[in-house]
Amino acid sequence: MPRRCSSFRLSSPPGAVTIISVKTNLRLVILADTHGFHRQLAIPDGDILIHAGDFCLHGDLSELDDFNDFLGSLPHRHKIVIAGNHDLCLERQPGESRSRLTNAVYLQDQSVSVEGITFYGSPWQPEFQGWAFNLPRGKALREKWDLIPEDTGILITHGPPHGILDSTMVGQNAGDEELTRAVRRVKPSIHAFGHMHESYGILKKGPTIFVNACICDAMYQPVRKPVVWQLK
């Protein structure tokens, strides 16, 4: 059961979101790496929609605008979005991009309490071909993961932890070791991510359910379905 919190807040910058209800039996709809194909998808109904980054292909503002319009057409009561390495505009034009993303809560090293559950979102991943939100392995990434609060019930990152749903097409585990350590520390009920198109799936390990929700496969074709998870 994801952890419940006594207060409702969005971490710094403060004051952006107030949630007034607490509901059990929540239905999560989780997806990632849609790469501009969001309008081709059948999105299941649910209470909370989570997008774990890479909604863009090229990363420009026009793609963000289209994605935001798409989000506005969906019936989910709550929508939570983080950026991925293809969402370049959110790193290069952060103020303009955030102002245009009006139909979801955008998290970047922040937490938000929704329906009494603390969600934490972060876009960072190990350096990869000079894309957005890349950091060197080791200290730089560890400093980002150290920001994850202990009361996180559902963790959303773009990249996977090392050794968990992170295999490349040549069988290499490309996830981040420091993120693995952070997940062991925080013990979220669910850790949702994407980035590794080849490793779509769900894995339970210890107290955490890991969800790689990549919609696109390794050939950037939108062949997967969003993951639906019912919280009891």
pLDDT tens per residue across span 47-93: 999 999 999 999 999 999 999 999 999 999 999 999 999 999 999 99
Q: For the chain, what are the domain ranges?
A: 27-230
Q: What b-and-e string marks burial along 156-195, b requiring 16 or more CB atoms within 10 Å of the CB? A: bbbbbbbebbbbeeeeebbbbbbbbebbeebebbbbbbbb
Q: With 60 as the cut, is the pLDDT of residue 24 above it?
A: yes
pLDDT tens per residue across span 107-156: 999 999 999 999 999 999 999 888 999 999 999 999 999 999 999 999 99
As a whole number, mean pLDDT of residues 205-214 equals 98
- Which DSSP letter does residue 88 get? T
Phi and psi of 166, rounded to 5°?
-130, 20
**Which CATH number is associated with domain 27-230?**
3.60.21.10
pLDDT tens per residue across span 218-227: 999 999 999 9
Are 175 and 161 a contacting pair, CB within 8 Å? yes
pLDDT tens per residue across span 154-179: 999 999 999 999 999 888 999 999 99
- Which DSSP letter does residue 30 get? E
Residue type for position 211: V
Are 4 and 203 a contacting pair, CB within 8 Å? no
What is the reported pTM? 0.90
